[in-house]
Structure 1
Amino acid sequence: MQPFQRIAITGKPGDQAVIDTIRKLIHELDGRGLTVSLDEAIGDATGASATHPVASLDSLAPRIDLLIVVGGDGTLLHAGKQVAAHQVPVLGINRGRLGFLVDVSPDRFDEIIRVIDGDCRVEERLVLEARVVHDDGIVAHAPAINEVVLQRWNTARMIEFETWIDGEPCNRHRSDGLIICTPTGSTAYALSGGGPIMHPGIDAVALVPISPHTLSNRPLVISAGSHIEVRVQPQSIEQVHVSCDSQTNLSLTADGRLDIVAYPHALRLVHPPGHRYFDILRAKLHWGDGAPPC
């Protein structure tokens, strides 16, 4: 790849370790003569707002060719959705906990510089779009990189709803809810619900029931090109909560439905040299008790 020249930096606000890493990163990039901009969420905290452009990611996205996110997976999910439509590659530096997406250590500035010099791999990750539809019109919508979750809210009772796939009835559910996840999200909430781990190279979506009443109601993997409809029974509408990546909430209408389709733009995730997906799984999920491969 060509070296990156116009770089924006964002991170988790209010975290001193994140701010310290960003300050070091700004110093390194300035020394290489690169154009560096800062997300307004962290601009003032870095002490560099007087010498570097500061703006929202929405306004910076058309003017940059790389976004560096310092924090955890949640920070990257939030930032990635803001730049996905502009196809800006995103590099994650891990200052969080688990770190499936932010896979560069803050101590490995050598890896960061190699990425900036173009020695990297860009991987496209599927993004979903959740739409609240009423009278055939979209009244609310939001993207989701990990998952769209429909779950019971303010009630101890199960909720009742139907799933339809490409216009065909699939199932009638009585459960605590449903997780519709991408391969990226298959190692997040869906994993704790018993869903399958899907390799990010698979163009698929998983429907994972949350505590279903019927034991035969199992996770279902379908094509990412499918049109998913969730029709909630009227008596359950007031007890239903819909969220995208646990960051954006959507409210259903009394006679409406929830549609989930593939978002028209993928998340372009940047990996440093030597990145291997199964190394990440072994490290994060403790496969093989930490022993090296045979």
Structure 2
Amino acid sequence: MSQFKKIGLVGRLGSEAAYYSLQRLILFLQKQGVEIFLDEETAASAPVTKLPRLERDALADQCDLVIVVGGDGSLLSTARSMCRTGVPLLGINRGRLGFLTDILPEEIERKVGAVLEGRYISESRFLLDCHVYRGGQLMSSGTALNDVVLHPGEYIRMIEFELYIDKEFVYRQRSDGLIISTPTGSTAYALSVGGPIMHPGLDAIVVVPLNPHTLSSRPIVVHGDAEIRVVVGDQRDIRPHVTCDGQTHQVTTVDDEIVVRKKPEKLCLIHPEDHDFYEICRNKLGWASHSGNGY
């Protein structure tokens, strides 16, 4: 008997390929005798009508497992809304890279079946809480599984800010912005601007400058429990934006403070039992394959 009795499904909106895989997944799960619930937002746009529907918060509260059919962006969105409950997430890839959604569509029956039988790897990923203050007053809050980014917004202009880590001054910088990334996000935006790849099991945060005016400015890796504070400088005619996973955003002004810390709640992510982080890196990033002469 599967330990997962109630399974929630979330699909990538507007994707016919995701809807096809969602239907295939539903047919398979129905044969396993589990209760299936469909995310309300997914059901509103998907050609699936006979399953019970739940709002995403209710889905997280009532299900033993949530399966996301889509890309990493779909899983990021689901993770931000469901991490408070600790419900495990499993991803079926109908996007592009698939660092988080690591089951291929043609593997649904075999690999989801193995998960239901208890053959899987479970890992914990931490998220970031982001708070923006103005004159000591909280203006906005956000959650990120990948990264918190300070950037110029609609203008391609350098911005100025000060960086503090655990209340210690680090530097004042002029650049296109700053990325504050978890290990999960280290293979996303941070990687594209020269940040290090971090194993997802690390308890660390990386701070990556975006095209800094000073070439000696490099990524800094700090402890996962560090408090990172960014103070926005005088930008004259632009107002930098703060985004969490490229979704929620806040427009800032001079002297605003952006405070980023590890979120108390963690994401439980499930992988097939043959999951291999380095194999995913080889496949997704084009690394050379094994020569056969090693271990």
* 1:3 counterpart = 2:9: no
**Which residue is equivalent to 1:72?**
71
2 CA distance for matches of 1:75 and 1:291?
32
**Which residue is equivalent to 1:31?**
31
2 CA distance for matches of 1:5 and 1:156?
50
Write the deviation string for residues 47-85 of structure 1: whole angstroms up to 9, x where unpaired.
Answer: 433x32112211211101111000111111011111101
* 1:216 counterpart = 2:199: no
* 1:229 counterpart = 2:229: yes
2 CA distance for matches of 1:276 and 1:3?
24
**Which residue is equivalent to 2:123?**
123
**Which residue is equivalent to 1:41?**
41
CA drift of 1:102 comes to 0.4
Write the deviation string for residues 165-191 of structure 1: whole angstroms up to 9, x where unpaired.
Answer: 111101111100000000010010100
Classify the secondary structure of the residue corresponding to 2:194: coil
**Which residue is equivalent to 1:180?**
180
Change in 2 beyond 3 A, CA 1:223/1:47: same
Q: Do the aligned residues in 2 keep the contact of 1:4 with 1:117 (CA within 8 Å)?
A: no
1 CA distance for matches of 2:95 and 2:114?
22
**Which residue is equivalent to 1:278?**
278
**Which residue is equivalent to 1:265?**
265
CA drift of 1:129 comes to 1.0
2 CA distance for matches of 1:154 and 1:43?
34
Change in 2 beyond 3 A, CA 1:20/1:252: same
What is the aligned-residue identity percentage? Answer: 43
Classify the secondary structure of the residue corresponding to 1:30: helix
**Counterpart mapping for 1:92-241 below 5 A:** 92-108=91-107, 109-235=109-235, 238-241=238-241
Q: Which runs of 5+ in 1 are unaligned?
A: none
2 CA distance for matches of 1:193 and 1:293?
32
Change in 2 beyond 3 A, CA 1:236/1:145: farther
**Which residue is equivalent to 1:19?**
19
**Which residue is equivalent to 2:52?**
53
Q: Do the aligned residues in 2 keep the contact of 1:204 with 1:221 (CA within 8 Å)?
A: yes
CA drift of 1:253 comes to 4.9
1 CA distance for matches of 2:232 and 2:37?
44
* Superposition CA RMSD, Å: 1.7
Name the aligned partner's letter for residue 225 of structure 2.
G
1 CA distance for matches of 2:63 and 2:121?
18
- What count of residue pairs does the alignment treat as equivalent? 292
* 1:256 counterpart = 2:246: no
Write the deviation string for residues 256-281 of structure 1: whole angstroms up to 9, x where unpaired.
Answer: 21100001111111001111111111
CA drift of 1:46 comes to 4.3
